[in-house]
Amino acid sequence: MGRIVALDYGKKRTGVAVSDPLRLIAGGLTTLPSKETIGFLKQYVVDNIVDLFVLGDPRQMNYEPSENRDRVLKFKKDLQQSFPNIEIKMIDERFTSLLAQQAMIQGGLKKKDRQNKALVDELSATILLQSFLEINKA
């Protein structure tokens, strides 16, 4: 069984999380400049079996598309072209950044560490993936 990779794609940075081989637990992998995401994933799939990409679907609180949605849809198209044999699912990401901030507070991170946007993006991707895993338990 291959891994699932979740992506919290943004204008500047992309948070990346990956499931364990049994697809039970999500773990943060990295945060990288968004323009480097496809290249990073090309190398990642050489070393790991990936069956699915989960991509955050940016929406506003009223379910309307956010300003980042067009950018994410373009990235999705690039992802499909680069990995035609790997399925892509989009899921609502509206609360992931808020949940990431709360998790850092509960984890005791200092305010300065909580302002690390790369850490927030990676943790957001992890929350996105863990939510997906829990929703799709067999």
Task: Quote the strand ranges of the chain, DSSP E.
Answer: 3-9, 13-19, 26-33, 50-57, 87-92
Q: Minimal CA–CA distance to 49: which of 80, 83, 15?
A: 83
The Cα–Cα gap between 86 and 82 comes to 9
State residue 106 phi and psi, 5-degree precision. -65, -30
pLDDT for 34 equals 96
Please say if the pLDDT value at position 68 is more than 90: no
Residue 21: how many other CB atoms lie within 10 Å: 11
Segment 126-131 shows an average pLDDT of 90
State residue 92 phi and psi, 5-degree precision. -55, 130
Residue 121 sits in a domain of what CATH number? 3.30.420.140
pLDDT band at 97 (very low <50, low <70, confident <90, very high): low
pLDDT for 113 equals 59
Residues of the domain holding 46: 3-135
User: Are 88 and 55 spatial neighbours (Cβ–Cβ below 8 Å)?
Assistant: yes
pLDDT for 15 equals 94
pLDDT for 39 equals 98
pLDDT for 1 equals 84
If one counts the domains in the chain, the total is: 1
